[in-house]
Chains A and B, each alone.
Chain A
Amino acid sequence: MDRVTTGIAGLDDMLQGGFVPNTAILVEGAPGTGKTTFGMQFIHHGIAQCDEPGIILTFEQFPRQYYRDAANFGWDFRRWEAEGKLRIMMTSPEVSQAFFQEAGGQIEQLTREVGARRILVDSISHFERLAADPVHLRQLVYSFINGLKREGLTAVLTRENVALLGEAEGQDESVPFIVDTYILLRYVEMDSAIRKALLVLKMRGSYHDKDIRRFTVTSKGIEVHSKFEGQEGILSGSPRRMAESFIEAFVRR
């Protein structure tokens, strides 16, 4: 089967080669876990290795901040822009949303202009200010994601998770149902050090590795390592609540 590789060491193996083409992937995590890095790496790898141009749609950072952050990892986003393989666009969720309700909107134009196959949306949390009502929010995000799919894009959507360690309380839980793949980035406290863990919670239409893996952010980007062994408290941050939250996370979906 055809796969969209991420270029993230260790992750593609967990996903049977990569993401399923033309699907939406939610990458959720606490502040600073590496969501933006994950997304930039996905875009960079697409352009540099797969000849798949990309778009970054952002609601919070100017393009120049991506240029700078990407340069830290040795990814020359300015060059991709100049070569017409990348477009970085900062706008608002309401405008992005409206683009898909009318033909010929800016996102559609950019997609066609560069022949984009991949998109990073950083971050989808900003949609939450468009609708207080969870049902309405779900509809908004759903139609937005459909718009991306209609353009044939494989989309990585990031989302902030307010809980640093352990479970998030009171966050809207409908988005994970809408997406095809759901990846969680977590801080975990182990041996009195804070580490980072990655977990693929769901992947529609494919087998995936269900281990909780340690990952690091290096000067080359994200690297996913071996699984955490015998660490039952990893998901919740506390060993006791862990079994509970683990079951909830898997069984509810």
Chain B
Amino acid sequence: MNDVTRRLMTDMDPDLLTFLHSKVTSFVKWDLIRFFHENPHTADTAENIARYAGRNVEMTEAELVELTELGVLVKNQLGSMVVYSLSNDPGIRDLIRRFAEASDDREFRRKAIYHIIRGMR
């Protein structure tokens, strides 16, 4: 591993770096986090969220479950349905907002992609 690259790639807000390493460990999670950031009051089933995100249901559901375990989302039973929504934790909400805002920047996205790909190996 090229050390210069690593140094360059970890040059970001340390909170966001931790957030990336611990929560945004796949591209689907990134999509889902963005979905909930843009739609913070929603609660919906894995099936519907998969449809909005343009991903298949099995993959989306597995990621929703993980995001719930990571404290990003909360899971509720609604009659016979399981619905997911954003955690109300102000700390998490703030990190998500900062992550989404940072993602508008091309450089930041490049770095984030680097970390996700490295994490997936």
Q: Which residues of A contact B (CB under 8 A)?
A: 62-64, 87-92, 94-95, 98-99, 101-102, 105-106, 110
CA distance A62 to B83 in the complex (A): 18
Contact residues of B with A, CB < 8 Å? 38-39, 41-45, 48, 52, 78-79, 81, 83, 85
Q: Is the CB of B39 within 8 A of A98?
A: no
Q: A62-B38, A91-B42, A94-B48 are in contact. List 19 more A-B contacts (CB 8 A).
A: A62-B39, A63-B38, A88-B41, A90-B42, A90-B52, A91-B43, A92-B48, A94-B81, A95-B43, A95-B44, A95-B45, A95-B48, A95-B83, A98-B78, A99-B43, A102-B78, A102-B79, A106-B43, A110-B41
Are A89 and B79 in contact (CB-based, < 8 A)?
Answer: no
Q: Are B38 and A87 in contact (CB under 8 A)?
A: no
A253 to B58, CA, bound (A): 47
Query: In chain B, what residue has the closest Cβ to A104?
Result: B76
B77: nearest chain-A partner, CB-CB: A102
Which residues of chain A are near B83, meaning CB under 8 Å?
Answer: 95
Are B79's CB and A91's CB within 8 A?
no
**Bound complex: CA of A106 vs CA of B81, how far in Å?**
14
From B38, B39, B85, residue with most partner A Cβ within 10 Å: B39
B41 proximity list for chain A (CB < 8 A)? 87-89, 106, 110
For B41, give the chain A residue with the smallest CB separation. Answer: A89
Centre residue among A87, A89, A95, A102 by max chain B CB count within 10 A: A95
Contact A98 B38, beta carbon cutoff 8 Å: no
In the complex the two chains form, is A106's CB within 8 Å of B38's CB?
A: no
Complex alpha-carbon distance, A92 and B39, angstroms: 13
The CA of A105 and the CA of B44, in the complex, are separated in Å by: 12
CB-CB < 8 A to B48: which residues of A? 91-92, 94-95
* A residues near B45, Cβ cutoff 8 Å: 92, 94-95
Contacts of B81 in A (CB 8 A): 94-95, 98
Q: Which of B43, B45, B48, B79 has the most CB of A within 10 A?
A: B43
Distance in Å from the Cβ of A41 to the closest Cβ of chain B?
A: 21
Q: How far is the CB of B35 from chain A (nearest CB, A)?
A: 9
Complex CA distance for A95 and B44, rounded to whole angstroms: 6
Cα of A87 to Cα of B39 in the assembled complex, Å: 10
Provide the residues of chain B in CB contact with A92, threshold 8 Å: 44-45, 48
A89 touches B78 (CB 8 A): no
A selection of 27 A-B contacts at a CB cut-off of 8 Å is: A62-B39, A63-B38, A64-B38, A87-B41, A89-B39, A89-B42, A90-B39, A90-B42, A90-B52, A91-B42, A91-B48, A92-B44, A92-B45, A92-B48, A94-B45, A94-B81, A95-B43, A95-B44, A95-B78, A95-B83, A98-B78, A101-B79, A102-B78, A102-B79, A106-B41, A106-B42, A110-B41
B contact residues around A98 at 8 Å (CB): 78-79, 81
Chain A residue with the shortest CB-CB distance to B52? A90
Contact across chains for A99 and B39 when beta carbons are under 8 A apart:
no
The distance in angstroms between the C-alpha atoms of A138 and B41, with both chains bound, is: 27
A98 and B78 CA atoms in complex are apart in Å by 7
Whether B42 pairs with A99 at a CB distance below 8 angstroms is no
Q: A62-B38, A62-B39 are in contact. Are A91 and B44 (CB under 8 A)?
A: yes
